């Protein structure tokens, strides 16, 4: 069979994930003719960024007509314009489709057949609009890296290995499994490591591990299963798709959240049984899942499907051209973030962003759609902020603001124009206008009749947007494509509102208004309770402002959502110390150290815990010693923060009350009087509401009660001391 293959040529990625890229072994495939095309040096047919698929056809050898085109890992590459009009069937291999649903939707609609890893992904890609979806696991392990022979399991350094990057917000499911590994790290030698710089380093770790954890967010079988098996390591798998290829409890260890520890102990405590499983698993992987073997099987699979693949009917040229212009804008935009940042897959630099801008300009000129104009601004902002930030803030941003303001005037119900205008103001530090626009946007997002463009471009150049919204927005778009429109739209409205409220909280804090900042976070948490980012910020502010139980509860919830964020746990431990909850401190430190041990990137936390415990002076002195510098350090740190709000911001009776409370708790009642005196002076001549008058009176009464109580205490102690001194003199 003659195959035209989309490749990556000499991309540095090719040597980082060796088994994932078939160009590393296509020369060994016999009985087929394979020509590669793409954008980098090293492919057979090199095309320019933005080239039409016809340019690929024009460079084919004379008389060489492909039977099909295979688009390998298409979601990490750039499909040429006009791919949908290829004169032969096109097959796209897609796995990480859920990172940008808009992008994947464009791609699966452009090819004749999409090849997915599992039945779940088949159903999802069909919902995105794929013409036909087939399931085939094309990934393998290369024989050059096989352990020959593998080390005996009993001779391996690590009991369990898991390699992955850690991100509680983007991959909370991974964090849950890592937490389970940490939970048994006191009994077993567990290593949780990030992706290693070299593939050989990764293979070396696999060779020295008895068990390797494999987890895929949708239960599909990961390529790591095969890489581990090729080194004689036994896989612990959390999914269901692996059962289609390997026998559970014979060739791999299946686990659920409930039986994880029991399964691990069962096999690690059975050396002979584990070795037998390792031998069987290694044999099957090396015989049936060598990378060349899988590629050959894939070609057979595609060949068999050729007669079943029907090509969509061509559409009228005028309509097709208009639709292509609109579609290419998002394709170039998302392709930039997927392929051209960091170690490039498509060596395009900024060109893809510039091309997306040109496509959006054409689209906006054709129909003056508010969505096209807003998308144009999103793309221009991304280019400006990434490549010319100073010039963009001085010059380019004004044109973007003008475009959005004109869009709002002509389409006042189009909510995404308000959101992006507010975000532009926020990112350019114009917080006054940002607040004004955000408040309007909030009301529009609440209004079910407002024009919500769910497919508006995501602000992928903005890290906070990615951290906060990227994952849940894509999940909602998938829900929408599956037909659950009402829930999806409601969720999207809530997500944008929560993000706006989070930004409003940050503006309020910059304006030294800490209580309105906390109130905005509370509202955001109500709309998006699964956000660890919101709860983490809210917990810190609640603690600062003295909401004891509520602050503790928020910390616990935040840790539940972000279990692998050591700084969050350290702050929680400080709060427990402040409230004298020593038993809980011991339990929390134990949990934190359990994470610090096996997770290589958290090794620093051991020193942080030691330093923290040294500051907890109550643990280091006798019960008679009432002075607690550790506790006072925490309170003084809070005071410093609160004073900055008081000194630089508008007066607030709640803030003054909190400062007075802490000063009194520290025994610095004289300072509390000075603050109250200063605050009363600020109020002179101001018209106060009944509520404010009552609140101020409450602060006065509190201060009076504390000072009177302190006076009584001092008098009692003076009398006691005087009596003791007199008794001592009488004894002489």
Confidence bin at 308 (pLDDT 50/70/90):
confident
Residue 365: other Cβ atoms inside 10 A: 12
Establish how many alpha carbons lie within 13 A of residue 553's alpha carbon, considering only the half-sphere containing its beta carbon.
5
Helix (H) or strand (E) holding 510: helix 485-510
Mean pLDDT of 692-714: 88
| pTM of the model as a whole | 0.92
Are residues 114 and 236 both part of a single domain? no
Q: Is 257 exposed, middle or buried (0-12, 13-18, 19+ CB in 10 A)?
A: exposed
Distance between CA atoms of 513 and 439, rounded to whole angstroms?
Answer: 17
Q: Is 653 exposed, middle or buried (0-12, 13-18, 19+ CB in 10 A)?
A: buried
Residue 314: predicted pLDDT? 43
What does the block give as tokens for 450?
Answer: 């407002």
Residue 731: predicted pLDDT? 54
Distance between CA atoms of 304 and 131, rounded to whole angstroms?
Answer: 17
Residue 316: predicted pLDDT? 37
Residue 460: predicted pLDDT? 97
**393, part of any domain:** no
Q: Which residues pair with 116 in a beta bridge?
A: 135
Distance between CA atoms of 102 and 49, rounded to whole angstroms?
Answer: 21
Helix (H, G, I), strand (E, B) or coil at 34: strand
**418, part of any domain:** no
**234, part of any domain:** yes
Are residues 260 and 130 both part of a single domain? no
CB 436 within 8 A of CB 507: no
Tens-digit pLDDT profile for residues 499-553:
999 999 999 999 999 999 999 999 999 999 999 999 999 999 999 999 788 889 9
Helix (H, G, I), strand (E, B) or coil at 380: helix
Mean pLDDT of 340-358: 86
Confidence bin at 618 (pLDDT 50/70/90):
confident
**35, part of any domain:** yes
Phi, psi of 155 (to 5 degrees): -100, 5
Mean pLDDT of 473-489: 97
For residue 98, is pLDDT > 80? yes
> According to DSSP H, which parts of 290-414 are helical?
291-305, 317-339, 351-367, 370-387, 389-391, 397-410
Are residues 156 and 55 both part of a single domain? no
For residue 37, is pLDDT > 60? yes
For residue 128, is pLDDT > 50? yes
Start-to-end CA span in the chain (Å):
115
Distance between CA atoms of 41 and 10, rounded to whole angstroms?
Answer: 6
Q: Which residues pair with 290 in a beta bridge?
A: 141
Residue 623: predicted pLDDT? 55
Reference 417, options 444, 449, 393, 397; nearest CA is 444
Tens-digit pLDDT profile for residues 198-248:
888 999 999 999 999 999 999 999 999 999 999 999 999 999 999 999 999
Reference 494, options 507, 479, 467, 476; nearest CA is 476
Are residues 132 and 155 both part of a single domain? no
Are residues 64 and 43 both part of a single domain? yes
Number of compact structural domains in the chain: 3
Distances (CA, A) of 570 to 398, 464, 542, 585, 587: 43, 23, 16, 10, 12
Are residues 106 and 195 both part of a single domain? no
Phi, psi of 214 (to 5 degrees): -125, 125
Print the SS3 string covering 467-489.
Answer: HHHHHHHHHHHHHHHCCCHHHHH
| Domain end point (choices 287, 318, 353) | 287
pLDDT averaged over every residue in the chain: 92
Confidence bin at 578 (pLDDT 50/70/90):
very high
Distance between CA atoms of 233 and 279, rounded to whole angstroms?
Answer: 9
Residue 322: predicted pLDDT? 43
Are residues 126 and 256 both part of a single domain? no
pLDDT > 90: percent of the chain: 77
CB 415 within 8 A of CB 451: yes
**686, part of any domain:** yes
| Domain end point (choices 239, 257, 287) | 287
For residue 384, is pLDDT > 90? yes
CB 211 within 8 A of CB 626: no
Distance between CA atoms of 384 and 395, rounded to whole angstroms?
Answer: 10
Are residues 152 and 283 both part of a single domain? yes
Distance between CA atoms of 696 and 656, rounded to whole angstroms?
Answer: 9
Confidence bin at 691 (pLDDT 50/70/90):
confident
Are residues 9 and 132 both part of a single domain? yes
**616, part of any domain:** no
Are residues 27 and 152 both part of a single domain? no
Expressed as residue numbers, the domain containing 112 is 2-139+297-308
**347, part of any domain:** no
Are residues 281 and 153 both part of a single domain? yes
CB 475 within 8 A of CB 172: no
| Domain end point (choices 253, 287, 321) | 287
- Looking at residue 209, which CATH number applies to its domain? 3.40.50.2000
Residue 575: other Cβ atoms inside 10 A: 20
Reference 504, options 447, 439, 445, 459; nearest CA is 439
Residue 179: predicted pLDDT? 96
Residue 20: predicted pLDDT? 82
Distance between CA atoms of 358 and 376, rounded to whole angstroms?
Answer: 8
Are residues 121 and 164 both part of a single domain? no
Confidence bin at 150 (pLDDT 50/70/90):
very high
Residue 324: predicted pLDDT? 57
CB 696 within 8 A of CB 677: no
**550, part of any domain:** no
CB 370 within 8 A of CB 412: no
């Amino acid at each position: 069979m003659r195959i035209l293959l989309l490749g990556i040529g000499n991309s540095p990625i090719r040597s980082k994930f060796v088994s994932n890229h078939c160009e590393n072994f296509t020369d060994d495939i016999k009985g087929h003719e394979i020509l590669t095309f793409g954008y980098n040096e090293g492919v057979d047919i090199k095309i320019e960024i933005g080239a039409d698929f016809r340019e690929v056809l024009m460079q084919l050898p004379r008389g060489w007509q492909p039977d099909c085109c295979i688009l390998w890992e298409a979601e990490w590459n750039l499909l040429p314009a006009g791919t949908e009009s290829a004169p032969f069937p096109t097959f796209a291999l897609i796995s990480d489709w859920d990172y940008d649903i808009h992008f994947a939707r464009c791609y699966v609609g452009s090819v004749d057949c999409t090849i997915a890893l599992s039945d779940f992904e088949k159903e999802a890609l069909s919902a995105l609009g794929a013409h036909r979806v087939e399931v085939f696991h094309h990934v393998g392990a290369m024989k050059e890296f096989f352990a020959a022979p593998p080390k005996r399991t009993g001779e391996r350094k690590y009991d369990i290995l898991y390699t992955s990057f850690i991100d509680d917000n983007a991959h909370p499911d991974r964090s849950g499994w890592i937490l389970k590994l940490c939970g048994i790290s006191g009994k077993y030698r567990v290593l949780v490591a990030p992706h290693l710089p070299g593939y050989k380093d990764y293979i070396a770790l696999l060779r020295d591990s008895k068990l390797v954890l494999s987890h895929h967010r949708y239960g599909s079988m990961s390529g790591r299963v095969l890489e581990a098996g090729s080194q004689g390591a036994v896989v612990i798998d959390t999914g269901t798709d692996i059962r289609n290829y390997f026998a559970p409890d014979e060739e791999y260890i299946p686990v659920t959240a409930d039986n994880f520890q029991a399964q691990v102990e069962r096999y690690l405590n059975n050396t002979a049984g584990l070795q037998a499983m390792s031998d069987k698993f290694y044999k099957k992987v090396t015989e049936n899942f060598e990378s060349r073997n899988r590629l050959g099987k894939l070609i057979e699979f595609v060949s068999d499907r050729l007669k079943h693949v029907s090509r969509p009917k061509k559409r009228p040229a005028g309509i097709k051209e208009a639709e292509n212009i609109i579609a290419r804008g998002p394709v170039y935009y998302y392709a930039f973030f997927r392929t051209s940042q960091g170690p490039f897959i498509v060596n395009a630099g900024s060109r893809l962003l510039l091309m997306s801008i040109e496509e959006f300009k054409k689209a906006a000129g054709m129909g003056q759609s508010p969505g096209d104009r807003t998308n144009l601004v999103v793309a221009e902002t991304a280019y400006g902020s990434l490549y010319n930030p100073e010039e963009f803030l001085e010059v380019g941003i004004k044109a973007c603001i003008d475009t959005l303001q004109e869009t709002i005037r002509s389409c006042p119900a189009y909510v995404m124009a308000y959101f992006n205008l507010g975000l532009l103001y926020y990112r350019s530090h114009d917080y006054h206008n940002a607040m004004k626009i955000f408040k309007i946007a909030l009301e529009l997002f609440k209004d079910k009749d407002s024009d919500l463009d769910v497919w508006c471009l995501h602000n992928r150049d903005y890290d906070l947007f990615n951290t906060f919204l990227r994952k849940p927005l894509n999940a909602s778009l998938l829900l929408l494509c599956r037909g659950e429109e009402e829930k999806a739209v409601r969720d999207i409205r809530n997500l944008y509102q929560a993000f706006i409220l989070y930004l409003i909280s940050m503006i309020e804090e910059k304006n030294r208004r800490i209580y309105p900042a906390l109130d905005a976070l509370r509202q955001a948490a109500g709309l998006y309770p699964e956000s660890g980012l919101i709860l983490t910020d809210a917990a810190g502010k609640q603690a600062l402002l003295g909401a004891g139980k509520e602050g503790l509860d928020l910390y616990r919830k935040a840790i539940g959502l972000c279990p692998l964020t050591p700084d969050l746990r350290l702050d929680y431990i400080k709060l427990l110390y402040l409230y004298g909850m020593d038993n809980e401190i011991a339990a929390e430190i134990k949990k934190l150290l359990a994470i610090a041990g096996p997770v290589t990137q958290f090794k620093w936390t051991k020193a942080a815990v030691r330093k923290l415990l040294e500051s907890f002076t109550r643990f280091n002195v006798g019960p008679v010693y009432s002075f607690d510098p550790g506790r006072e350090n925490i309170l003084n740190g809070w005071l410093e923060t609160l004073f900055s709000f008081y000194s630089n911001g508008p007066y607030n009776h709640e803030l003054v009350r909190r400062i007075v409370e802490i000063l009194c708790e520290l025994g610095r009642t004289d300072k509390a009087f000075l603050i109250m005196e200063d605050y009363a002076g600020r109020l002179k001549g101001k018209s106060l509401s009944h509520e404010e008058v009552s609140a101020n009176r409450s602060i006065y009464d509190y201060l009076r009660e504390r000072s009177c109580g302190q006076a009584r205490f001092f008098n009692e102690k003076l009398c006691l001391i005087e009596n003791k001194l007199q008794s001592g003199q009488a004894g002489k």
